[in-house]
Chains A and B, each alone.
Chain A
Amino acid sequence: MSNTSVRRRRIRWGRVVAYVLLLLGAVVVIYPFFYILMNSFKPGPEILHNPTRLPSHWVTTGYRLIWSQLNLPRLFANSLFLAISITVLNVVLDGFAAYALAKIPFPGREPLFAIMLGTMMIPSILFLIPTYVFLYRLGWVPGFKALIIPGAVSVYSIFLLRQFIRQIPTELVEAARLDGASELGIFLRIILPMSRPALGTVAILTFMGSWNDFFGPLLYLNKPELWTVQLGLYQFQTTVPGENAEQIWAAIAVITAPLVLLFFLLQDQFMAAFANVRFK
C-alpha cells in the first residue's frame, strides 16, 4: 500500500523534472526568435548597447529602412516563382516517374530503378562544378532556368513516391486498365488522390529546399534583379560590428515569418515529411 504511493509520487517527480527540462529546451529554441522580434522594433543605438533588453520605445525604423534599401516585393516574387515552379514540376514529373516505376511493368524497368538507386548515393558536390560549366556554356547563367530545369526532377522524391505508390493495390490499377482507362486517366483518377500524403511530403520538402536555398542562387542568380530573399538577406551580413544593425533584424523577421507561419498551419504534414524520410 505505502509502497505503491511512494512509487506513484516518484513517477510524478520524474515528470516534473521532465517538464522543467523540456521547458528549458523550449526557451533555448524560442529565445532567438524573441531576440529578432524585439530588436527589430528598437532604435539603432539601443540594439548595440542593450541588445538583450526590451526596447525603451518601439520604432519601425528597421522595417522602413529595408523597405527602401531592398526591393522586397521583387525578392519575394523571385523566391516564390522559383519555389513554386520547382515544386509543381517535381510533384508532376516525379509523380509520373514514380507511378511508372511502381505500377507499369515496362521492359527495362528494373535496371532503370537499379541505376536510380545507385545514383541516389552520389554526393551532390560532384555535380557542382561540371553543371556550372555546362549551364554557363549553354548561356543560362545568370538566370532562373539554370535552377528550374535541372531541379525539375529529384531522384530522391521519385524514390519516396514510388515506395508509397507501391502500397496501392495493383488490382485497382489492373481493374481500371481492363475497363479501358488510359494510363494517364489511372494516374489522375486513382494514383494522384491516393498518394496525397506522399505528394504533400515531396511538395513541402521541395518548396522548403528551394525557398531556403542559398548556394544555388549564389551561383546562378548573381544579379540583383534575380536575387531571392536569401541573397537579399545576405547583403546585410557584414564584418563591421553594428553596421546594418537596424535593418538586419527587420529583414530576418520579414523573411522568416512566412515560412514559420506556413509551418504552424501545416505542422503535422511538415513533421510527417521529415519523419517519413527514411531508407526503406
Chain B
Amino acid sequence: MTARALIKQMTRYRWGYAFVAPWVLLYLAFGIYPLFLSFYLTFFNYNFINPADQAFVGLGNWVAGLGDPLFWHSMFNILYNQVIFIGLTLVIGLGIALLLQAITQFGRLFRTIYFIPTVVSIVVVMLIGNYLVAPGGPLQGYLLQLGLIGKPIFWKSELWLSMPVLALINTWKWFGIETVILLAGLLAIDPQLHEAAAIDGANAWQRFWKITVPMLNPQIFFILVMNGINGLQMFVEVYMNFDLYGGIYNQALTPVLYIYAQAFDKSNMGYASTLGLILAVMIAIITAAQFRFGQRDVE
C-alpha cells in the first residue's frame, strides 16, 4: 500500500481511531507507563515518607527478592492453598453438574441457590466463614458432638491447617460458578456418544472417564487458567484473617500480602515492585504451562 492510499484509508476510517482513543490513552497512562515505572523502581530504594532519599541500588532488589526465603515461603503457601481449592471445587462442581443433569425438575432453582455465594463479596464471606469455623463456632460444635475432633481447633495458629480452611471457605463461595460452567459443557455433549459407547459395553464409570472428562476439557482448562491467574493473587482472605505477615508461622502469608506488607508496612516501594514483577513472571510461566499442556482440544 502506498503512503497516499494509506492516508486515504486512515482518513476514511478515522472514526475507528476516535473510538479506540479513550481506551488507548487510558491504557498508555495507567497500563504502559506504570509498567515502565515498575521496572524503573526495582533499581531503587524508594519510600513515600522521604521520596528525596531515593537511592540507586542496582540489582540489589532483584538479588534480595530472588533469595528472600519469606517470599518463596509465600509462593509455597499459595500453591498449597490453590491445589486444595482447585481439587475441591472441581470435584464438587463436576459432581453437582452431573446431578443437575440427571434430574428433571427444580434444576433452575438449584442452580440459582448454588450461585448466590458468587455475588456475595469476599469480605462478607470471610466474616461469616470466620464465625462458622471458629473454635466454639457451629461447625466445630458439630464435629465435637460427632466425636470427629477431640478438642476445639485454633486453625489460625495451626501451621498446616490455615490454608486448607481458607480453601474450604473459598470453595463454598466459588463452586457455583464452576457448576454453571461445567453444566453448560455437559449439556453440549452429544448424547449419542454415550449411547454408542453403552451399546459397545462401556459402563458408566468408563464412559465418564473416556467421554465426559475429555469432552469437558475446554471448561476444565478455562477453570484452571482463571484460577491460576486470580487465585495466585489472593489477598483479602489472608489480610482479613491474619496479621500482615500471615500468622505466627507465616503459614498464611501469600505473595500479594507480602508485597503489600513490604510496600505499606516497610515503605519499601522498590522492593515491593521487584517482588510484584517476580510474581507476575511466575504466574505467566504457570499460565503458559497450562496452555502448553491443556489446550490440545480447545477450539
Residues of A bordering B, CB below 8 Å: 14-15, 18-19, 21-22, 25-26, 28-30, 32-33, 35-36, 51-52, 93-94, 96-97, 99-101, 104-107, 109, 112, 119, 121-134, 136, 149-150, 152-153, 155, 158, 182-184, 187, 208, 211-212, 214-215, 218, 230, 233-234, 236-237, 241, 248, 252, 255-256, 259-260, 262-264, 267, 270-271, 274-275, 278-280
Contacts and interface: CB of A to CB of B under 8 A. Distances in A.
Interface in B247-275: 255-256, 259, 263, 269, 272-273
A100 B19 contact: yes
Given A29-B116, A35-B138, A36-B128, A129 B100 contact: no
Given A18-B103, A106-B13, A106-B17, 11 more contacts: A15-B104, A101-B20, A104-B13, A121-B229, A123-B232, A129-B272, A130-B37, A131-B34, A184-B15, A267-B112, A279-B298
B122 A212 contact: yes
B86 to A, nearest CB: 17
A17 to B, nearest CB: 9
Given A125-B280, A237-B240, A260-B120, A279 B222 contact: yes
A74 B44 CA distance: 40
A47 to B, nearest CB: 9
A274 B176 CA distance: 10
A96 B20 contact: yes
- Dominant SS at the B interface? helix
Given A33-B116, A97-B22, A123-B232, A18 B99 contact: yes
B233 A125 contact: yes
A184 B235 CA distance: 42
Interface of B: 6, 9-10, 13-20, 22-24, 26-27, 29-31, 33-35, 37-38, 41, 46, 48, 96, 99-100, 102-104, 106, 110-124, 126-132, 134, 136-138, 141, 172, 176-177, 180-181, 184, 218, 222, 225, 229, 232-233, 235-236, 239-240, 255-256, 259, 263, 269, 272-273, 276-277, 279-280, 283-284, 287, 298-299
A29 B113 contact: yes
A234 to B, nearest CB: 6
A99 B18 CA distance: 11
Contacts, number: 241
27 contacts: A32-B132, A51-B137, A51-B138, A96-B23, A97-B23, A100-B15, A100-B17, A104-B15, A106-B9, A123-B280, A123-B284, A125-B255, A126-B279, A128-B276, A129-B38, A129-B269, A130-B35, A133-B46, A134-B30, A183-B18, A233-B123, A234-B240, A270-B119, A274-B118, A274-B180, A278-B181, A279-B222
Contact of A278 (B106, B222, B236): B222
Nearest to B5: A107
B273 to A, nearest CB: 5
Contacts of A125: 233, 255-256, 259, 276, 279-280, 283
Given A26-B110, A270-B115, A214 B172 contact: no
Contacts of A271: 111-112, 115, 180
A29 B172 contact: yes
Nearest to A128: B276
Question: When A and B form their complex, which 8 residue pairs have the shortest distance between CB atoms, in order from nearest?
Answer: A106-B16, A183-B15, A130-B34, A212-B121, A100-B19, A104-B16, A130-B38, A106-B13
B15 A274 contact: no
Contacts of B128: 32, 35-36, 252
Nearest to B118: A274
Given A106-B9, A126-B35, A149 B26 contact: yes
Contacts of A131: 30, 34
B279 A26 contact: no
Contacts of A274: 115, 118, 177, 180-181
Contacts of A26: 110, 113-114
Nearest to B16: A106
A131 B127 CA distance: 29
Nearest to B34: A130
B20 A133 contact: no
B37 A134 contact: yes
Given A22-B110, A133-B37, A211 B121 contact: yes
Nearest to B22: A93
Most buried by B among A14, A123, A218, A275: A123
Given A26-B113, A125-B233, A236-B127, A214 B121 contact: yes
B120 to A, nearest CB: 6
A128 B127 contact: no
A209 to B, nearest CB: 10
B115 A267 contact: yes
Nearest to A152: B26
B9 A122 contact: no
B269 A15 contact: no
B19 to A, nearest CB: 4
B257 to A, nearest CB: 11
Contact of A52 (B13, B138, B256, B273): B138
A1 to B, nearest CB: 21
B3 to A, nearest CB: 11
A126 B277 contact: yes
